[in-house]
């Protein structure tokens, strides 16, 4: 899962990286708008994008493609 916010340039970059890595790994993924859920907004307000792998926080702000690929294993 990738937690994003509309208008966030780092989120746009993260979407491109996650999309490419997940396509190569044949892994599914989703995006969730942090502002769509008050609990998520409270926890991650200024810390987007946030990448999760198997429900565990993997990265904040920047997605490292090789690290994400390794985590998807």
Q: Is the pTM of this model over 0.85?
A: yes
Nearest CA-CA partner of 18 in 71, 59, 70, 68: 68
Mean pLDDT of the region 12-19: 97
CATH superfamily of 2-72: Glutaredoxin (3.40.30.10)
Apex CA 14: angle with CA 12 and CA 17, to 5°?
115
Per-chain mean pLDDT for the chain: 95
Backbone CA torsion sign across 5, 7, 11, 17? positive
3 CA to centre of own chain? 5
Using DSSP, state whether 61 is helix, strand or coil: coil
């Amino acid at each position: 899962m990738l937690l994003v916010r509309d208008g966030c340039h780092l989120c746009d970059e993260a979407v491109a990286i996650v999309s490419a890595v997940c396509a190569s790994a044949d892994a599914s993924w989703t995006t969730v708008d942090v502002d769509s859920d008050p609990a998520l907004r409270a926890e991650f307000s200024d810390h987007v994008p946030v990448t999760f792998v198997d429900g565990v926080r993997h990265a904040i702000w920047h997605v490292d493609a090789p690290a994400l690929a390794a985590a998807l294993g």
